[in-house]
Amino acid sequence: MSENTIYHIYAKDRCLYNCLEEKEFNMKWEQLNAMVGLMHTDYDVDDLSYEKLPPGLGATSDGEPGGEDSY
């Protein structure tokens, strides 16, 4: 499990970035909001959202989701 808070960023129902640590999240979030506001895209600023997972949840240190193997 991750010892840091991690973030996932979404545009509508599509995950754009997953398992970002706070510093990287802040940079990506700011960039996305600026791009959507300036460029003609299929997305609006209101379409952007994120999920914040506290330490101990989310991905392991190797980037894989926590839990048992599915096979």
Summarised one tens digit per residue, pLDDT across range 18-65 is: 999 999 999 999 999 988 878 877 888 899 999 999 887 755 555 555
| Spatial distance between the Cα atoms of 65 and 19, rounded to a whole number of angstroms | 9
**Residue 48 belongs to a domain:** yes
Q: Which domain holds residue 23?
A: 6-53
Task: State how many domains the chain has.
Answer: 1
Task: Kindly report the pTM of this predicted structure.
Answer: 0.72
Check residues 38 and 71 and name the one with the higher pLDDT.
Answer: 38
CA angle 37, 48, 30 (to 5 degrees): 60
Q: What pLDDT shows up at residue 38? A: 82
List the one residue out of 19, 17, 18, 21 whose CA is nearest residue 4.
21
- Give the pair of three-digit tokens for residue 53: 């997972």
pLDDT of residue 44: 86
Question: Among candidates 24, 27, 30, 29, which has minimal Cα distance to 10?
Answer: 29
Within a domain: 62: no
